[in-house]
Amino acid sequence: MNAPDLFGRHLDLTPLRGRRRGVVRCIFQPCDRTPSLSIDIERGVFNCFSCGVSGGVKKFAELVGAAPHRRARFVYLSPLDEARRDALAAERHAAGSRAGHRPLMEASDGYRLTMLEVDHARAVASAAGPDAPLVWELLTLAATIERQANADLAEIVA
């Protein structure tokens, strides 16, 4: 997969209006409302001025879940699979941090990040629609993670 195909598959390139480089909305931030991701399609590089993520085609493919496969092919995850993967990673992080006592600030940061992943999972499920495969599994997982995160935060604050 080449850079134009990879960028075009995951980014909204309409702000470029046919140009080969410019600034678009960053997909690595759930709340990016203004364009902050600078891309150069010909060189195959990107840099977000807001969150700081940058790299080339290989790094972009890793970040969007397109793992390199044999013979330079990429295996793409569906948005539902990506959201499920991210939600499970947030749950593993929360479970690992439950083992020890953390300061309140670190706990609240962890809670905020976990809830961002839960919100992202719900948004992906909502966009996919109720008939899409794995939607209900993703929503159930999001609800379970949210309940656990709320219980963990209540335990730390109390």
Report the CATH number at residue 69: 3.90.580.10
- Quick one: 90 and 146 in the same domain? yes
Q: Which residues of the chain have pLDDT under 70?
A: 1, 30-32, 66-78, 80, 92-105, 157-158
The answer to whether the CB of 148 falls within 8 A of the CB of 91 is: yes
74-77-78-83 Cα dihedral, nearest 10 degrees: -150
pLDDT at 1 (0 to 100): 61
End-to-end CA distance of the chain: 51
pLDDT at 11 (0 to 100): 86
- Quick one: 52 and 108 in the same domain? no
- Quick one: 153 and 85 in the same domain? yes
pLDDT at 22 (0 to 100): 92
Q: CB within 8 A of 76, min separation 6: which ones?
A: 9, 64, 65, 66
pLDDT at 74 (0 to 100): 44
Q: What is the pLDDT of residues 78-108, one digit of tens each?
A: 676 777 777 777 776 666 555 555 566 677 7
Distances (CA, A) of 125 to 5, 26, 51, 58, 63: 25, 20, 25, 27, 20
- Quick one: 70 and 8 in the same domain? yes
Structural domain harbouring 130: 79-157
Q: Residue 101: exposed, middle, or buried by beta-carbon count in 10 A (0-12, 13-18, 19+)?
A: exposed
Side-chain-side CA neighbours of 118 within 13 Å: the count stands at 19
Residue 48: beta bridge partners? 37
Distances (CA, A) of 8 to 20, 62, 85, 103, 117: 11, 15, 22, 42, 24
Structurally, the chain folds into a number of domains equal to 2
> Does pTM surpass 0.85?
no
- Quick one: 54 and 97 in the same domain? no
